[in-house]
Amino acid sequence: MFKNQNHIERLKHIQQSLSKSSQIIIESTGGINQQFQRFIMSPLYRLMRDSRAIGILLCLCALTSLMLANFSPFKMHYINLWSQPVPFIGSLYLPSRFNDIIDSGLMTLFFFIAGLEIKRELQIGELSNYKKAIMPVFAALGGMVVPAIIFSLINKGTIYAHGWGIPCATDIAFAIAVASFLGKRLPYNLRVFLLALAIIDDLGAMIIIALFYGVSINWIWGPSTILIAVALTILSKKEKKVEAFRIGYAFIHILLFILLWHGLYNMGIEATISGIIAAWVLPTKLINLVQNNLHKIVYFAILPLFVLCNTAINIGSIQPHYFMLPLMWGIFLGLLLGKPLGIYFICKILNNRKVGVLPYGTTSSNLIGMGILASLGFTMSIFIATIGFNGIIENTAKLTIVFTSIVGVLLSLLWFYVVDPNYLKITTFLKKIFNITSQSIGITKNYWR
């Protein structure tokens, strides 16, 4: 009996020890989780909600990729990585190399998100009525036509003439990220105007890609692709009549979207256009839901991956004379000169003729500064360069775009911090120094007299 009691007491003691140790483990793991949430996840979430983060991330990716491709001991392995074929993919009539998977596959989601943004602005945003839409629409057109003309004049009669679409683009995320650094120096109304202009600019760039940068069309895939597009449109119209969101509709929509992309890719039409088509037919009630779920994936995973892939360029492999080609001058001057001039003069003409109205309080200086911000083509310009050129010329064009974007960022910051008459801090300071110096010279002259 005593043995049984001792045995029972021993078991109770062991159970208490186990419960205490398990409680300690739970508390310690709970503490680790709290520390992980506090020091890693919370700052990461705050960073993703910051509009400046996207632009900073893309710049870091471009610089990192260029460093790895030029100064790392495994630079050739890094460059060749992106062109490596993926086994068994090509037999399924799909992009077979990593860079093709990113450019023709993953970037479709970027165009899908951009298409949703355009659709929302046309329905309920800055482009929802004639008076709101007319000015940014024509400003975007001016910001595309003038750069294209400058590029075409410089490259007339050369083998690079078809690259005129490169300086027509504006990178929405990059431009807005830089604009957020300016704070109150860029008025809120003008920031909204820039967003609307960049959205229309993106739509124009997508149309240019679809019409002028496709290869010869393989019509064998044509009938099935057209039928899929029609089916997607019919499904979307039926879905509009259904008040509640249905998983079945979403699954069929995604399946048709993938099949449409596959058909366009094999037809030879730029497959990323399927993202625009899918966005256009998506019911309005689903736009916010889809954007919220895809926004972070697109801007913090796919776009950085795209930039890493397309800036993996060995600068040493490019002869210096390539940077003096008319193609490079066309890109550089088309973006940095053509964009601001096209936007400024179109806005001034429409405003003077009372056709459209500029945002309240917009000055000429503001307008030029916004035009410089719109010259940041970056990802969209790089995308057009990848489908317009090959080899050394493609790499040189990409480097020119990266360099031009960096110059554009510096010029826009310089313009709003120094040149803009609303914030003439440095120039005022220099004027004061000049006045003091002049007065000192005058006093000295009077003294020696």
CATH code at position 207 = 1.20.1530.10
Higher per-residue pLDDT: 64 or 15: 64
- Whole-number Å distance between alpha carbons of 120 and 116: 6
Classify residue 288: in a domain, yes or no: yes
- Average confidence (pLDDT) over 74-99: 85
- Whole-number Å distance between alpha carbons of 284 and 289: 10
CA nearest to 318, candidates 388, 403, 399, 392? 392
Classify residue 41: in a domain, yes or no: no
Alpha-helical regions (H) of 155-221: 172-182, 188-212
Which burial class, exposed, middle or buried, applies to 80 when counting CB atoms under 10 A from its CB (0-12, 13-18, 19+)? exposed
Classify residue 285: in a domain, yes or no: yes
pLDDT at 11: 55
- Neighbour tally for 286: CB within 10 Å: 17
Classify residue 228: in a domain, yes or no: no
Give the single-character DSSP code of 316: G
Classify residue 241: in a domain, yes or no: no
Spatial neighbors of 25 by CB under 8 A, at least 6 apart, are: none
Give the single-character DSSP code of 97: B
- Is the pLDDT at 97 greater than 60? The verdict is yes
Q: DSSP for 375-424?
A: T--HHHHHHHHHHH--HHHHHHHHHHHHHHHHHHHHHHHHIIIIISGGG-
Which burial class, exposed, middle or buried, applies to 447 when counting CB atoms under 10 A from its CB (0-12, 13-18, 19+)? exposed
- Whole-number Å distance between alpha carbons of 100 and 386: 10
CA nearest to 127, candidates 198, 181, 179? 198
- Average confidence (pLDDT) over 51-60: 77
Classify residue 221: in a domain, yes or no: no
Of 15-19, 37-41, 205-209, 249-253, the poorest mean pLDDT is in 37-41
Integer Rg of the chain from CA: 28
Angle (deg, nearest 10), helices 391-414 and 364-374? 150
The answer for 199, left when phi > 0, alpha when psi is -120 to 50, beta otherwise, is: alpha
- Whole-number Å distance between alpha carbons of 421 and 424: 5
- Neighbour tally for 11: CB within 10 Å: 10
- Average confidence (pLDDT) over 269-289: 83
Classify residue 281: in a domain, yes or no: yes
Burial per residue of 170-203, b for 16 or more beta-carbon CB atoms within 10 angstroms, e otherwise: bbbbbbbbbbbbbeebbbeebbebbbbbbbbbbb
In the structure encoding, which two tokens stand for residue 430, read together? 């220099």
Of 25-39, 189-203, 205-219, the poorest mean pLDDT is in 25-39
pLDDT at 318: 77
Of 79-93, 148-162, 220-234, 377-391, the poorest mean pLDDT is in 79-93
- Whole-number Å distance between alpha carbons of 165 and 386: 12
**Angle at 96 (CA atoms; ends 91, 100), nearest 5 degrees:** 145
Give the single-character DSSP code of 220: G
- Neighbour tally for 84: CB within 10 Å: 12
Bridge partners, 97 (sequence order): 85
pLDDT at 345: 92
In the structure encoding, which two tokens stand for residue 170, read together? 């504006």
- Spatial contact of 266 and 93, defined as CB atoms under 8 Å apart: yes
CA nearest to 273, candidates 282, 262, 284, 264? 264
pLDDT at 359: 79
- Is the pLDDT at 35 greater than 70? The verdict is no
- Whole-number Å distance between alpha carbons of 207 and 168: 11
- Is the pLDDT at 205 greater than 50? The verdict is yes
Structural domain containing residue 136: 51-214+270-429
Classify residue 71: in a domain, yes or no: yes
Q: How many domains does the chain have?
A: 1
Of 326-340, 344-358, 418-432, the poorest mean pLDDT is in 418-432
Higher per-residue pLDDT: 189 or 68: 68
CA nearest to 375, candidates 352, 343, 348, 350? 343
Average pLDDT, the chain: 79
pLDDT at 334: 95
- Whole-number Å distance between alpha carbons of 443 and 412: 40
CA nearest to 195, candidates 181, 174, 165? 174
pLDDT at 27: 53
